[in-house]
Each structure stands twice: as C-alpha cells, then as structure tokens.
Amino acid sequence: MEKKTLFDKIWDAHVVRTVPDGPDVFFIDKHFIHEVTSPVAFLNLEKRGVTVLHPERTIATPDHNVPTIDQEKTIKDQLSRMQVEKLRTNCKKYGIELHDLGSAHHGIVHVIGPELGVTQPGMTIVCGDSHTSTHGAFGAIAFGIGTSEVEMVLATQCIMQSKPKKLRITVDGELGKGVTSKDIILYIISQISASGGTGYFIEYAGSAIRALSMEARMTICNMSIEMGARGGLIAPDETTYAYLKGKRYSPKGADWEKAVAYWESLKTDEGAEFDLEYHYDAADIEPMITYGTNPGMGIKVKGFIPETVGMEGSNKKSYLKSLEYMGFLPGEAIQGKKIDYVFVGSCTNGRIEDIRSVAEFVKGKKKAPNITAWIVPGSREVEKLAHEEGLVKILEEAGFKLRQPGCSACLAMNDDKIPSGKYAVSTSNRNFEGRQGPGSRTLLASPLTVAAVAVTGEITDPREVF
C-alpha cells in the first residue's frame, strides 16, 4: 500500500478534481470569516449575482478591528463600525452563524473555532487570515487565503490550490524549566528563517510536541506562517480528543466513537516520505526573544544580537536597516534593554493557559513603573474563565490592565497602538515595522518572558526572576 503522510491523507480526501498542469479543486469543510477580509468578497458575490452555497459551513466573528474598551457601546471609529455592520448584514442576509461582540463566544476567530469544537481532526479549514494555520494543532489542514478565495469558498465551497511540498519538523526530548511552546516555535523560525518554510506544509512531530497541551500546540501551528509555510499540523491523539470532548460542535454519542475511530487513522504512515526534514533537541531550546523586524530574527534571551560577518549586499543592508529601526547594534546583549509596554494576547498566546501562566508568575508582585501592561483575552470564554479563576484580580493587583477580547495591539487596527519609538515585548506573532502602531518596536516572546519583563521593566530571562 502507498505510504502517506498525515497531510496527504487529508489533502487527497478533499480533491474534487485536478486541473492538468494546474491546481486542485479543493473542497473546504469549514470557513471562518471576519470583518476585514470579507466585505469585498460579499460585494463581488452580489455583483456576480451568486449566493452563498453552504452558509452552514461558514462561521463569523468581528475581531481584527473592534475596540477592546466599551464593546457594548456603538463603535466610535466610523470605518470600523461600518465593517462590523457589514459583517452583521451579510451574515443575516445569507444565514451565517455570527458570534457578535458581547456574545458568549465572541473572540479572535482562531481562538473561538477550537473553543466551540468547530475545528476537528481531518478537516480542511480556511479563513481570510494567515494565522488560520492555528487550527492545524488538531490535525486539520488549515491555512489563510485572500479575499478572492473567500469569495470562492462562499460561492462554491472550493478553492483552487496546488498541493504544497511536505516538511516534517521533529522536536524530541524534554523542555527545560521556563521554556514554553512559544520558545520552541521562535527557536525553529530563528533556525530556518522567515522564508525557510515557503512552499511547504509542515507536520510537527516528536516527543516534545506530543507532550504539549492543545493550547501549546496551537501556539506552534499558529506561527507556521512566520517561516513562510502555508500551515502546520500535528497528528491528533488522546490530548486532542480530551480537548474536543463535550465541546458545542464536537460529535456526540455514537458519532463521537465513529469520529475518534476515523481520527485514529490520521497519522503519517511509517516510512512515508517528506520533501524536507528537520530535527531538533528540546534540550537545546531556551527562552527566546526577537530583536529585529521579522520573526526569523530571534535569539536566546541570554544571547547577543548577531554581528554582520558573512552578510553582503542587500542582505546586509536590510539587516542593518532592521536593527536601526529597532534601535539596536550588532553584537549587543539583548538582556537588560529597557521596555515600555508588554502585551499579552493574540491568537498565538491569548488563551486561558497563557493568562494562567502570567498570573501565576506575577502573583504578589508589581509591574515595573516604566511598564504599561495590557492583557487582552482571546475570547469572551477566556475572559470569563480568567475572572472565575481569580486571575484578573491577581493581574490587576500587579498593575496589568485587562481589556475586552479582540486582536487588539497584535495588529493595532483599533486604538490599542504602541506609540512610535516605544518598545513592546509581546506574546503575538509579528514584529514587522509598525505592526503594533506606526513606529512601534516589537519584540516577540513567550507569556513567561513577558511576565518577567513586566516585573523587571527590562528584558529578562524568566528563569532568573521567579
């Protein structure tokens, strides 16, 4: 029998037909939409006189653009308000399930999908958002698409896609104390660069990955796109099933048994081939932080900003330009740099485990006076749990400000902007120039490292503070 990877199994099961010397007509099981990348798709549908083919396969939530204060009031920013209202009218018109502001399951689309049990093993999932890769943690093929493709999915439940190549990244061994899944993924990206995964779909494997919780796995898959890969997935196992059991849209009763039996088959066959493989040892991974303007520019928190030896031409120019933007010099230590903001949130690290770990570490301590600390839960559900578990109280006592759910300062489309020139250590996924506001300087790190920075006011290895 032909040996297949997990990715092959799911991909092949969703090909409606293959265009000769062209892409596959690829069937999509679940489609998420939000207010920013969907309005033009709906508008074009209307212009073509086409309707939504499977409204029951699409789920909507406003997240990118929404305020995180006073969500219950009318949105002040006129353009944001219009986008959210468009989403509402479109959902109503076509009968699409909407998790609106203030409702029990409102939140960042990649946080609520898993929370609701919409995301399941073996599915194909797309959204007009590159971090759709998050859902790969469940053993699904999930990736971001452009607005033209959003329109295709709405109209036909299919897109045209060429099958990517396959990359397996294996991380074996045990993580050290204070090292999290965010450090694993920042480490991998620093090794293979921000473009090293382009053209590939990743499978993450190995004992270090298996040992992670579902939320920690989501953090890893989320950042697959930051090395250029379309997405990344992890074979489902007991951890996956335990997470999904009892969720709103998870199969129930006999259907559950049937589903699990199918999910059990979703594994890469022994001997199946990948186009590329990387192996890492968990013991080599330490708390990581980025120092530049793409997620591949990461080092150990205890490390030094790389020198320019061996760099040439436009490569060197881009590197120096990036450091100039950040206000750093080659060869400097990163530890001890003064920081102005910390941001805990986003679809990378805005889930309850992330908030728990920050709360646990700052309990009884105070944030440093130079730090403004924002915590933005990934969803209403996360917010609710954080209150119920007493985490909000701990965090507020430490001087953190809790905001309402949304993408917030991850991309700063709303008012949550880091001021120009200021430094933010963030649990999000992108450190591009101006990502968190025009002129803002972002350093990406784990929630633990962010907690350490909040308390000391400067870049600090979390293992040394707690």
Partner 1 sequence: MAYDKFNVLKSTVVPLPAENVDTDQIIPARFLKATERVGFGDNLFRDWRYDPTGAPKPDFVLNNPTYQGKILVSGKNFGSGSSREHAVWAIYDYGFRCVVSSFFADIFKNNCLNIGVLPVTVSEKFLNSVFEAVEADPKVELEVDIERQSITLLSTGESESFDINSYKKENMKNGFDDIDYLLNLKEEIAEFAKTR
Residues numbered 76-135 forming contacts with ligand SF4, rule: CB under 6 A:
108, 110, 129, 131
Tokens found for residue 430: 């992108």
Q: Which of 424, 401, 421, 410 is nearest to 339 (CA)?
A: 424
Q: Does 148 bind partner 1 (CB under 8 A)?
A: yes
Restricted to residues 348-377, the positions that interact with partner 1 (CB under 8 A) are none
Residue 326 interface partner, choices ligand SF4, partner 1, none, CB cut-off 5-8 Å depending on type: none
Strands across the sheet with 165-172, in order? 231-233, 200-205, 165-172, 276-281
* Crossing angle of the two packed helices 109-116 and 214-222, in degrees rounded to 10: 140
In the region spanning residues 16 to 35, those forming contacts with partner 1, defined by CB under 8 A, are 16-17, 19-23, 25, 27, 29
Tell me the closest approach of the beta carbon of residue 148 to partner 1, in angstroms. Answer: 4
CB neighbour burial string for 18-47, b if at least 16 within 10 angstroms, e if fewer: eeeeeebbbebbbbbbbbbbbbebbebbee
22 touches, from ligand SF4, partner 1, none (C-beta below 5 to 8 Å by class): partner 1
Listed residue (195, 124, 135, 200) closest to 162, CA to CA: 200
User: Using CA of residue 403, residue 405, residue 408, residue 413, what is the dihedral sign?
Assistant: negative
Among 14, 30, 64, 106, binds ligand SF4 (CB under 6 A): 64
Residue 392 binding partner 1, by CB under 8 A:
no
Question: What part of residues 243-272 is at the interface with ligand SF4 (CB under 6 A)?
Answer: none
How far, rounded to the nearest angstrom, does the alpha carbon of residue 202 sit from its chain's CA centroid?
15
The reply on whether position 347 binds ligand SF4 by CB under 6 A is yes
Contact between 256 and partner 1 by CB under 8 A: the answer reads: no
Binding at 106: pick from ligand SF4, partner 1, none (beta carbon under 5-8 Å per type): none
| DSSP per residue, 4-31 | --HHHHHHHTTEEEE-TTS-EEEE-SEE
Q: Which stretch binds ligand SF4 (CB under 6 A): 154-162, 318-326, 405-413, 443-451?
A: 405-413
Please identify, among the stretches 244-252, 262-270, 308-316, 371-379, the one whose residues bind partner 1 according to the rule CB under 8 A.
308-316
Instruction: Say if residues 172 and 281 touch (Cβ distance below 8 Å).
Output: yes
Q: Does 65 bind ligand SF4 (CB under 6 A)?
A: no
Name the residue nearer to ligand SF4 (CB basis): 164 or 350: 350
- Looking at 407, 425, 444, 454, which residue binds ligand SF4 (CB under 6 A)? 407
What kind and span of H or E run contains 325? Answer: helix 313-326
Size of the site for ligand SF4 (CB under 6 A): 13
Using CB under 8 A, count the residues that bind partner 1.
Answer: 78
Chain contacts with ligand SF4 (rule: CB under 6 A): 63-64, 108, 110, 129, 131, 346-347, 407, 410-411, 428-429
